[in-house]
Structure 1
Amino acid sequence: MLTSHFPLPFAGHRLHIVDFDASSFHEHDLLWLPHHDRLRSAGRKRKAEHLAGRIAAVHALREVGVRAVPDIGEKRQPLWPDGLFGSISHCASTALAVISRQRVGIDIEKIMSQHTATELAPSIIDSDERQILQASSLPFPIALTLAFSAKESVYKAFSDRVTLPGFNSAKVTSLTATHISLHLLPAFAATMAERTVRTEWFQRDNSVITLVSAITRVPHDRSAPASILSAIPR
């Protein structure tokens, strides 16, 4: 499969972006993956996306001196080497990965159309979140896509500890031109409640990319001292 890779420094991390041409994918490309047999029943598009994501992950791991291909966990999450955290995402013809010594989550999403945003908003945000998004300087479709993507990034950061929490388990508390913050509720996970997660974001063509950059124990009113990433249970 034809791919191109480039690293991009962002929010204290280095993103590894892989643009790929799914039409050039061949079944034998998967033989490069140790777990290729587990993809046997997947569709062609899914196989190409998975391969591109793992290529990005390999580049990210090599950056920290590790030569490995992340396997697939019981919850379909990537399995990272001991002592490392990572995240993979893909959208259309782009895949990306990031590696860290602390919890990290990344997501890329195509910006919704106005129609799609109007239709999906009730399933992604509540009325309080809507007010925050509408009060930002961003067009609503971009703001809603960011809310969706930021929540996905948070879920990925804790994919080894929680099982598919609903969108109502993390609430948007602020949105600016560079970051979006969320407050985790008990529905996310009892042990993760009352934490605020900051995700940085940027727009790339017609997509947005969000990255979990800080997780604090600060309650929703932010009155307590912050304890950044290192205080979060692994």
Structure 2
Amino acid sequence: MHVQHHVFPFAGCLIHQIDFDPSTFHPDDLLWLPHHAQLQQASRKRQAEHLAGRIAAAHAINALTGHATVPGIGPQREPRWPPGIQGSISHCGQQALAVVNENETALVGIDAESVLRETQAQEIWQSVIKESECQRLASLPFPLGVTLAFSAKESLYKALHRRVNRLFGFASAEVIAVTPHTMTLALTAPLASFAKDTVFTLYWQQEGNRVLTLLCAA
């Protein structure tokens, strides 16, 4: 599969991005992955995305440690990071992104989304945010606000999953503030060792039709 790798800074972290051409993907490309057998039943699209994400992650780990370790797949399909590393992976269109932190207890979550169309935002907003959150996002165009809340909650899920170790939904956190560069979420109920009303500040940026959100806290 044809890929291009580049790195860019965001919110004090280095984001490793892989641009990939899924039309050039061949199933044999998966043999690069130590866990390739676990992907044999996945769709071709999913296989290409997974490969691109693991390439991004290997670059990120190599930049940090000097070893291009490929994260495996955990019991709930989450990336299995090497000892001493915490990280996160996201996919959006023909791009995959990864970020890592050398603090194994760090909270790390990244998510990239294409901005929803107006009709899409109208269809899904009530499953992502409450009316009160919608009002707090009123400074943004409605489709952008819904997309941003969706993405931020996805990033939070990825960051907390290792500690919580169970599924939890969008209603588990609510938007309490948004600025041109940050979004603050608060838990609506306890999650593992995190108490109700625990606050998390994520960074966000928009680049063209893509929104990127990041939580990276030691």
> Which band: TM-score by shorter chain?
over 0.9
Which residue is equivalent to 1:124? 128
Which residue is equivalent to 1:209? 212
Identity of aligned residues (%): 50
Name the TM-score, length of structure 1 as normaliser.
Answer: 0.88
Write the distance in 2 (CA, Å) between the matches of 1:26 and 1:64: 29
Which residue is equivalent to 2:77? 76
Of 158, 161, 172, the match for 1:159: 161
Of 109, 112, 118, the match for 2:113: 109
The answer to whether the 8 Å contact 1:86/1:104 transfers is: yes
Q: How far is the alpha carbon of 1:177 from its aligned partner? A: 0.9
Matched, 1:52 2:52: yes
Structure 1 stretches (4+) deviating beyond 2 angstroms?
none
Q: How far is the alpha carbon of 1:166 from its aligned partner? A: 1.1
Which residue is equivalent to 1:232? none
Quick one: which amino acid aligns to residue 132 of structure 1? R
The answer to whether the 8 Å contact 2:20/2:95 transfers is: yes
The answer to whether the 8 Å contact 1:198/1:213 transfers is: no
Which residue is equivalent to 1:196? 199
Matched, 1:182 2:185: yes
Write the distance in 2 (CA, Å) between the matches of 1:169 and 1:210: 18
Q: How far is the alpha carbon of 1:81 from its aligned partner? A: 1.3
C-alpha distance after superposition, 1:45-65 (max 9, x if no partner): 000000000000001000112
Which residue is equivalent to 1:145? 147
Which residue is equivalent to 2:91? 90
Q: How far is the alpha carbon of 1:190 from its aligned partner? A: 4.1
Computed over aligned residues only, the root mean square deviation of the Cα atoms, in angstroms, reads 1.1
SS in structure 1 of the partner of residue 189 of structure 2: coil
Q: How far is the alpha carbon of 1:204 from its aligned partner? A: 2.1
Unaligned runs of 5+ in 1: 215-228, 230-234
Relative to structure 2, which stretch is displaced further, 174-183 or 160-169? Answer: 160-169
Quick one: which amino acid aligns to residue 155 of structure 1? Y
Which residue is equivalent to 2:176? 173
Name the TM-score, length of structure 2 as normaliser.
Answer: 0.94
Write the distance in 2 (CA, Å) between the matches of 1:164 and 1:177: 30
